[in-house]
Structure 1
Amino acid sequence: MRHPRLLRFTGLLLGLALLTGSATPDPAVQTRDFQSYFAAYGLRGSFLVLNADTRQYTAYDLDRCRQGFLPASTFKIPNSLIGLETGAVRDTAEVFRWDGVKRSFPQWNQDMSFGRALRVSCLPCYQQIARRVGAERYQQWLPKLRFGRMQVTPATVDSFWVVGPSRITQFEQIDFLQRLQQGKLPVSKRTQELTKDLLVLSRGPGWVLRGKTGWAMRQGQDNGWFVGWVEQKGKAHFFALNVEPADGKPATSAFIQGRRAVTERILQQEFGLLAGPGKP
């Protein structure tokens, strides 16, 4: 039997350890001013990048990087994983039939494969997937994937990522993408590899860019995303950009193109990534 004094001393040491050593340290974050890149496209917003090798974050408008926004079409990444893993989608070649309703994005008004549906960000196609998955299975899978704070009910099952209270921060986007890139999500290797292949946007000498844009339109205020990662010379950099039109007016072509253009310019000019001509 242990001596009472020894037990008290052990308890004191444990308490001190919990106070001083158990907390996970905050990530290293340096701040930079990238405002000129945003201004060139009439945008305001924030940018976050993580060097996975050094574990160093670089942030433009750090407070905003910690603010939650609707995920919009960046949710197509976890939605693809859930669709494939649950069998709601057979594979990337499965064809989604156009319902004949003409929508404002002409590229959606046609039959298309699952792979193409992600590349053109086809909302009606992913709404079909959402109805197949159902609210109950989302409620089981979303906590496992740890993609922000999604809120889904049977009534919102095909819209909860574009309207409503669901939110995700830029830090949470990067955390999720890291686990996908490293194959550490709680889904099969096949599902993760198929999804990563769908996310390839361009390649160049020694590098590959993967990513997904997003666009939430709510009450006249447009909010846009571009998230993903660059693998270059055996190292990975993860990024998350969130923007709005600086004048508060509806989105223009500068907003649509600027999400990816601002990101690529920062990665090229500030981090030396995406060097050399890329190709789709």
Structure 2
Amino acid sequence: MIHTFGISFLLSNLVISILIAAILLIKRIFKKHISIRMQYNIWFLTLSMLIIPFLPVNTLGFQNLQNWMIGLHNVRMSNQNGVTQTLNNGKQLLSGNWLQDFSISINSKTPSYINVFLISIWTIGIIVMTTITIYNNHKIKQLKTSSLPVQNKKIRLLCKICVKDIGLKNELPILTSAYLNTPVTMGHFKPCIILPMYLISEFKLKEIRYILLHELQHYKHRDIQVNLWMCLTQIIYWFNPVIWYVIKEMRNDCELACDSSVLSMLDKEYHSEYGHTLLNFAQKLSYLSSVSGMGGPKKQIKKRIINIVSFQGESQWLKLKSTLIFILIGITILGFTPILSTHGFNDSIYKTSNIRTTTEDLSDYFKDYNGSFVLYEPNKDYCFIYNETDAMKRVSPDSTYKIYSALFGLEANSISPHSSLIMWDKIIYPYDTWNQDHSLNTAMKNSVNWYFQALDQRTGLQTLKHYYQKIEYGNQSLSGGISNYWMESSLKISPMEQVELLSKFYYNTFQFEDKNIQTVKDAMLLSSSNEANLYGKTGTGSVDGKNVNGWFVGFIEVKDNTYFFATHIQNNDKSNGSNAASITLSILKDKNIYSSE
């Protein structure tokens, strides 16, 4: 999905920004009903949401918008509006002129270089941001290296008491530095507290106690690791100003949460002393990346002082309300998970077949192609596969989808076994056989695109979706649009699935009307003799004038058995249904299953 990631990621960021705006609105409206600590915790939901675009999750309906903007899944065909058209001339394979391959080239709307450009810019930004972050952290490491252990025994003893008061098991080294003007807690692997050198000489012990309690709260709540998470988020989302605002607000709320944790430990009479200690840093501010500190911007200091003055302990009712709002926001984000994914569930590979398989080397038949061949014998419940990797890979079904378009149209009464005629729309098509009225049999024989497009329109998109989901057809995605979803667009299926579905279709596992199954079978009949009946459908994918995808799928009825097959071929120009059929017939002849002679 690298070819679509750029625009998909951009769309995900749009949705993310809207969700963040909604979260900010919820926090503002219910501010009095959310505890300070929970207001901070809500930001963790936001950070978690930013991971979703990189997760393999089904994109559901949002894929319509993605495909529309990406353009690589939506296509345009030639018509009377003057769009350029490229033809794949049908090739007669067998005597009687009954097997031909008809296709129309489609053109991709959006060049792939747009995605390459977006990804390139994003990658450059990541490299720049990573360089800046590494440089800043190097300076912080130098600061730590240049700091000295605190020698004041009273302060070291005070730190031990604070550690015990908070309930921590491990002590933190206490260092001092002349290069800081506010205390900080730093170090991802070996955390420590660094105090400004002037603080030890100018501040009273009770003020230093408040400072240590605040910094130890950062350590207790793992804010150092959270800062690292925020830095990584800024690197990945460097282009999104909304994310930068979130990080700023999260850091501010982190300080408020630490203040509240300290205040909850102190008697109310000491709250004003804690606030006074905080004010002492208002003129000596330092704001370092990947560092948790007691200082902050003046505006934030003011906000923290207001919080200290108005601080009230958390009641059980407040905790309950806070938890419910947190859960509500979490559920909302979870509901948007399928929309935020940039590449969707990894549905390009089919992995759930329960049929026993064995591989065969049929490479001599596929000299000029990448491709696969699958032959299923239900009597033995066994599959013979050439090139298992390709056989499990989902690609566009092209005209082979018409088997099921016909079946669904019959089931939905869009046509009937005795009344399947659809009038020609009078548009001049490249094949003479298309420029006339057609029944299901003639439309299937001549692979008449306009017939099946009109049939799908009659059946309706929602009904089609229902049926594709019912039979579990490939990735079941019709997001490419009702006219084009099958033609090098959104719908994908693997050769293995083609064979399995043909078997279920043949034996009517899905319990469709028997007469409808038989009607489609009759339309698929290619050759009949005393020895065997051959049913099948070709398909060709032609993009920008090049035949890139070829199919031949079907089944063969012999005296005591039925064989189901699917052949798929790909290359840069010569892949079409006719050539796929030629390969299939050669294999079947050599296996003594079917001969066209």
TM-score w.r.t. length of structure 1: 0.81
Question: What is the aligned partner in structure 1 of residue 389 from structure 2?
Answer: 63
| Between structures 1 and 2, the one with greater helix share | 2
Query: Helix, strand or coil: the match of 1:258?
Result: helix
Matched, 1:161 2:161: no
Q: Give me the whole-angstrom Cα distance separating, in 1, the residues matched to 2:492 and 2:577.
A: 21
Runs of 4+ residues over 6 Å off in structure 1: none
The one-letter code matched in structure 2 to 1:260 is A
Q: Give me the whole-angstrom Cα distance separating, in 1, the residues matched to 2:494 and 2:516.
A: 24
Question: What is the aligned partner in structure 1 of residue 319 from structure 2?
Answer: none
- TM-fit CA distance, 1:215: 1.2
Query: Helix, strand or coil: the match of 1:266?
Result: helix
The one-letter code matched in structure 1 to 2:563 is H
Q: Relative to 1, partners in 2 of residues 1:106 and 1:96: Cα closer, same or farther, differing over 3 Å? A: same
Q: Give me the whole-angstrom Cα distance separating, in 1, the residues matched to 2:501 and 2:418.
A: 21
Kindly, what percent of the aligned residue pairs are identical?
A: 24
RMSD: 2.0
Task: Return the match for 2:573 from 246, 249, 266.
Answer: 249
Deviation string 1:121-150 (CA, Å, 9 cap, x unpaired) is 100010001111111111222111222122
For residues 1-280 of structure 1, the aligned pairs below 5 Å read 26-39=354-367, 42-91=368-417, 93-153=419-479, 156-219=481-544, 220=546, 222-245=548-571, 248-249=572-573, 255-269=576-590, 271-275=591-595, 277=597
2:585/2:596 contact within 8 Å kept:
no
1:150/1:161 contact within 8 Å kept:
no
Deviation string 1:200-243 (CA, Å, 9 cap, x unpaired) is 11123321111111112234452011001111122011101011
TM-score w.r.t. length of structure 2: 0.39
- TM-fit CA distance, 1:26: 4.2
Deviation string 1:232-265 (CA, Å, 9 cap, x unpaired) is 12201110101124xx2255xxx45322111011
Q: Give me the whole-angstrom Cα distance separating, in 2, the residues matched to 1:108 and 1:25.
A: 38
Query: Helix, strand or coil: the match of 2:441?
Result: helix
- TM-fit CA distance, 1:32: 1.4
| Between structures 1 and 2, the one with greater strand share | 1
Range 169-178 or range 214-223, more displaced:
214-223
- TM-fit CA distance, 1:174: 0.9
Q: Relative to 1, partners in 2 of residues 1:274 and 1:63: Cα closer, same or farther, differing over 3 Å? A: same
Q: Give me the whole-angstrom Cα distance separating, in 1, the residues matched to 2:353 and 2:499.
A: 17
What are the ranges of 5 or more consecutive residues in structure 1 without an aligned counterpart?
1-23
- TM-fit CA distance, 1:57: 1.1
What are the ranges of 5 or more consecutive residues in structure 2 without an aligned counterpart?
1-351
1:92/1:194 contact within 8 Å kept:
no
Q: Relative to 1, partners in 2 of residues 1:274 and 1:25: Cα closer, same or farther, differing over 3 Å? A: closer
Compare CA radii of gyration and give the structure with the larger one. 2
